[in-house]
Amino acid sequence: MGEVSELQRITTTDEFLELGAGASLTDCYASLTAEYPDFGALLQRFASLQIRNQGTLGGNIGNASPSGIHHRP
């Protein structure tokens, strides 16, 4: 995923925020915080700086991380 620029893309419009599966968590957090400022403090508690810089949204969901998947009873 690291070499596919389309998967690293983050697009923000008036109607939606699209986060590419290959975008780093740091880049995703920056976009999410800009759209949802109150969410920023919570996002800083997730993972270490090194993980946020190298980890991706798609990788977090793809490896079935409990933090990336919400289970409903």
User: Looking at the domain assignment, is residue 71 inside a domain?
Assistant: no
The rounded distance, in Å, linking the Cα atoms of 53 and 50 is 5
Structural domain span for residue 35: 5-62
User: Looking at the domain assignment, is residue 26 inside a domain?
Assistant: yes
Chain segment 13-56, per-residue pLDDT in tens: 999 999 999 998 899 888 988 888 888 778 777 777 888 888 88
What CATH number does residue 11 fall under? 3.30.465.10
User: Within its chain, how far is the Cα of 54 from the centroid?
Assistant: 11
The predicted model scores a pTM of 0.69
> For the chain, how many structural domains are there in total?
1
Asked if pLDDT for residue 71 goes beyond 70, the answer is: no
User: Looking at the domain assignment, is residue 30 inside a domain?
Assistant: yes
User: Looking at the domain assignment, is residue 70 inside a domain?
Assistant: no
State whether the Cα torsion 26-33-61-11 is positive or negative: negative
CB atoms within 10 A of CB 62: 12
Tell me the CA distances in angstroms from 7 to 10, 63, 72, one per residue in order.
Answer: 8, 17, 28
User: Looking at the domain assignment, is residue 69 inside a domain?
Assistant: no
User: Looking at the domain assignment, is residue 37 inside a domain?
Assistant: yes
